């Protein structure tokens, strides 16, 4: 069967995944359907929701699962592809690590990993949410607490994974995506839409923060290291109630997973909280930090709050302001011909929304930089 994205479904692979999802080895496929799922900004990924009925010894049973098709250009891997390593997610689901995740933070069940030509197919559990989005501030606190308990477990006895495919020193790789645009700042300033987005952020600020990136990243390397998801923001997290009625956080998209300093996990949660107004972003950060520190304590880890504060704020500059915004985003945005599809990629009526969002958030980024500059002397 083929859908709008030309994903061909092998009936035997589907039957096997359905049988595993239902824990019914003798399940037989009945009527079923496939629909594209929205999600993610990486064009090399396609998500599909498959659902239907299966005939089992105990009667007809409904089933639902997600098929993620991921592609990697072996012949010409770009620097962005090396960061967004699609192979890493497949390795994660085939490893013991995904099975070891228990308690308040888990991954979806993976029923199979198949290779079809240049596509890797992940057959995954369909996760139903029990908490509507967007989250409230207090719900963000609880999510951060779960992430703290997850990271803290690897600082209090659970062996730190050492698989070679895990991401390490991700911030160093990510920040360099901005190198060309830093070099071209004078030319970028001639673009009216760049000036609109960064009118209240000077070139002197960019150059100073860029020139000091090594200091901050060296300090991150000296801090206690733990196992992290590294892309744990609202779009990749689902809150559900387990069979006992207890809350459980489910993380999807493990393509960045790896080893990082305790606290780095918070950066994605705060930076990618798009619906939160710019003027509330620092308040959100303080709430998340409190929840995260509580989670670390519940895991039995006595954290240095200043270290965690530094390590959670530093990636907001290195990975998000430089790598993500001034790097990935503006590598495409500087060409005005890309603006229509960039707006469509983010689901926006106009790309002007992104320029306005950036202008509103510049004071937040400047405040974060001042804070990590101060903390650098204390960690």
Compute and round to an integer the Cα radius of gyration of the chain: 22
Which residue from 240, 262, 311, 250 is spatially nearest to 153, judged by alpha carbons? 262
Q: What are phi and psi of 127, to 5 degrees?
A: -95, 120
Cα–Cα distance measured from residue 331 to residue 181, given in angstroms and rounded to the nearest whole number: 7
Task: Give the three-class secondary structure for 33.
Answer: strand
Cα–Cα distance measured from residue 206 to residue 151, given in angstroms and rounded to the nearest whole number: 32
Report the phi/psi class of residue 157: left, alpha or beta, with left for phi > 0 and alpha for psi in -120 to 50: left
Task: Give the three-class secondary structure for 190.
Answer: coil
Do residues 122 and 110 lie in contact, with contact meaning Cβ atoms separated by under 8 Å? yes
What pLDDT sits at residue 71? 82
What pLDDT sits at residue 179? 97
Cα–Cα distance measured from residue 231 to residue 181, given in angstroms and rounded to the nearest whole number: 24
What pLDDT sits at residue 203? 96
Do residues 298 and 378 lie in contact, with contact meaning Cβ atoms separated by under 8 Å? no
Q: Structure tokens of 199? A: 């009118």
To 5 degrees, how large is the angle CA 146–CA 147–CA 149?
65
The residue assigned the tokens 């992104």 is 354
Domains and CATH numbers, the chain: 11-80+108-125 (3.30.200), 137-375 (3.90.1200)
What pLDDT sits at residue 75? 53
What pLDDT sits at residue 73? 61
Q: In which element (H, E) is residue 171 found?
A: helix 170-175
Task: Give the three-class secondary structure for 168.
Answer: strand
Q: In which element (H, E) is residue 35 found?
A: strand 28-37
What pLDDT sits at residue 1? 35
Task: Give the three-class secondary structure for 319.
Answer: helix
Taking only the tens of pLDDT, the chain with its 379 residues reads 333 356 889 999 999 999 999 999 999 999 999 999 876 556 567 899 999 999 999 999 999 999 999 886 665 454 444 666 778 999 999 999 998 887 889 999 999 999 888 889 999 999 999 988 999 999 999 999 999 999 999 999 999 999 999 999 999 999 999 999 999 999 999 999 999 999 999 999 999 999 999 999 999 999 999 999 999 999 999 999 877 778 899 999 999 999 999 999 999 999 999 889 999 999 999 999 999 999 999 999 999 999 999 999 999 999 999 999 999 999 999 999 999 999 998 889 999 999 999 999 999 999 999 999 999 999 9
CB atoms within 10 A of CB 100: 14
């Amino acid at each position: 069967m083929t859908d709008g994205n030309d994903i061909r479904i092998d009936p035997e692979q589907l039957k096997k995944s359905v049988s595993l999802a239902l824990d019914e080895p003798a399940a037989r496929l009945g009527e079923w359907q496939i629909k594209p799922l929205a999600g993610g900004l990486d064009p090399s990924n396609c998500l599909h929701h498959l659902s239907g009925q299966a005939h089992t010894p105990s009667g007809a049973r409904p089933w639902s699962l997600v098929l993620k098709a991921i592609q990697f250009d072996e012949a010409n891997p770009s620097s962005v592809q090396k960061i967004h390593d699609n192979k890493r997610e497949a390795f994660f689901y085939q490893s013991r690590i995904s099975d070891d995740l228990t308690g308040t933070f888990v991954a979806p069940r993976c029923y199979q990993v198949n290779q079809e030509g240049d596509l890797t197919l992940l057959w995954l559990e369909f996760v139903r949410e029990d908490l509507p989005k967007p989250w409230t501030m207090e719900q963000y606190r609880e999510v951060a607490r779960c992430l703290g308990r997850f990271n803290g477990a690897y600082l209090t006895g659970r062996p730190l994974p050492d698989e070679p495919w895990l991401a390490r020193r991700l911030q160093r790789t990510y920040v360099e995506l901005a190198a060309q645009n830093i070099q071209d700042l004078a030319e970028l300033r001639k673009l009216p839409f760049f000036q609109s987005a960064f009118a209240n952020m000077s070139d002197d600020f960019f150059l100073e923060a860029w020139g000091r990136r090594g200091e901050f990243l060296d300090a991150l390397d000296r801090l206690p290291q733990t196992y992290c998801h590294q892309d744990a923001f609202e779009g990749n997290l689902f809150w559900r109630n387990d069979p006992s009625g207890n809350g459980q956080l489910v993380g999807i998209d493990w393509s960045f997973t790896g080893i990082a300093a305790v606290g780095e996990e918070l950066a994605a949660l705060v930076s990618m909280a798009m619906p939160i107004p710019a003027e509330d972003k620092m308040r959100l950060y303080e709430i998340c930090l409190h929840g995260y520190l509580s989670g670390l304590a519940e895991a039995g880890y006595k954290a240095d709050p200043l270290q965690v504060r530094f390590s959670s704020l530093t990636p907001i500059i290195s990975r998000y302001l430089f790598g993500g915004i001034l790097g990935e985003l503006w590598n495409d945005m500087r060409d005005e011909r890309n603006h229509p599809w960039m707006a469509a990629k983010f689901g926006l009526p106009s790309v002007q929304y992104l320029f306005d969002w950036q202008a509103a958030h510049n004071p937040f980024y400047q405040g974060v930089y001042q804070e990590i500059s101060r903390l650098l002397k204390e960690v």
